[in-house]
Amino acid sequence: MRVGAHVSIAGGVDNAVERELDVGGNCGQVFTHSPQVWQDPNIGDGEAERFREETAAELDGPWVIHSSYLVNLCTPKDDLREKSVDSMQKEVDAAAKLGIDYVNVHLGAHTGAGVDGGLDNAASALDELDVPDGVTVLVESDAGSGTKLGGDFEHLAEVIDRSEQDLDVCLDTAHMFAAGYDLSSAAAVDETVAEFDDVVGLDHLRCIHLNDSKHECGTNKDEHAHIGEGLIGEEGMEAIVNHPDLADIPLVLETPNEDGKGFAWNIERVKELRE
């Protein structure tokens, strides 16, 4: 099983490998810089080489780069679109430098452009990218609050269809649950996975952000809980990690660090739930 967590690159991106090992992970996710500001990745050749070598020696992979929270591909505003495309270009270039397979991004909010207009904006923004060979952009499912897109599987399918890029998908279990896709029982997981396969296609699923939820299904509230201790619960989490169609998909945790429990506790919990 490939399972890991989103770890820090403080002190150099190569430090992420040891941090991943420390929490019991064999794959993982990073930010290349603070996600709260417009900032370029600043990765030296030496640390990039150490990252690649240590990853190859110590981990199963893959790694995922999570793009900045400020990126909004759906926006109708030219200045924000330009900044978003520029930021994404730098992320896919950083991924190539680090030997990372995937760059994960939220579609963003249409802020008045409408669903159809927002999806067109996102697809055309992605089409402006020069994505290096060996790197794939993953569009992430969203909790669906406000005018944010990506909460419906149809949004993901439409962007994949409208874009000229070879796009794939990252599903976040807490976001799916918040957006109204039930995952709290084995039967519900079967139904949701089947719906995703019908609408988007399991062949596009490359990563799962495995997070429990502090809020009820369909509330559009995005707040992560410890594995098995939220409202998805133990039965739902067990069904997800053991579903035959998801067995080979890497699981990346973004669970909280609270109540004396962090990534190590949550990764061990996932391993216990795997039959």
CATH code, domain with 178: 3.20.20.150
Backbone Cα Rg of the chain = 18
What's residue 266's pLDDT? 98
Q: Are strands 251-253 and 205-209 parallel, antiparallel or unpaired?
A: parallel
Cα-flanking dihedrals φ and ψ of residue 115, to 5°?
A: -60, -50
What's residue 18's pLDDT? 98
What's residue 31's pLDDT? 98
Tokens standing for 269? 């919990």
> Tens-of-pLDDT digits for all 275 residues of the chain?
999 999 999 999 999 999 999 999 999 999 999 999 999 999 999 999 999 999 999 999 999 999 999 999 999 999 999 999 999 999 999 999 999 999 999 999 999 999 999 999 999 999 999 999 999 999 999 999 999 999 999 999 999 999 999 999 999 999 999 999 999 999 999 999 999 999 999 999 999 999 999 999 999 999 999 999 999 999 999 999 999 999 999 999 999 999 999 999 999 999 999 98
Domain that holds residue 41: 3-273
How many separate domains does the chain show? 1
In order, the DSSP letters of the chain are --EEEE---TT-TTHHHHHHHHTT-SSEEE-SS-TTS-------HHHHHHHHHHHHHH----EEEEPPTT--TT---HHHHHHHHHHHHHHHHHHHHHT--EEEEE-EE-TTSHHHHHHHHHHHHHHT--PPTT-EEEEEP----TTEE-SSHHHHHHHHHH-SS--EEEEEHHHHHHTT---SSHHHHHHHHHHHHHHT-GGGEEEEE--EESS-TTS----EE-TTTSSSHHHHHHHHHH-TTTTTS-EEE----BTTB-HHHHHHHHHHH--
What's residue 275's pLDDT? 83
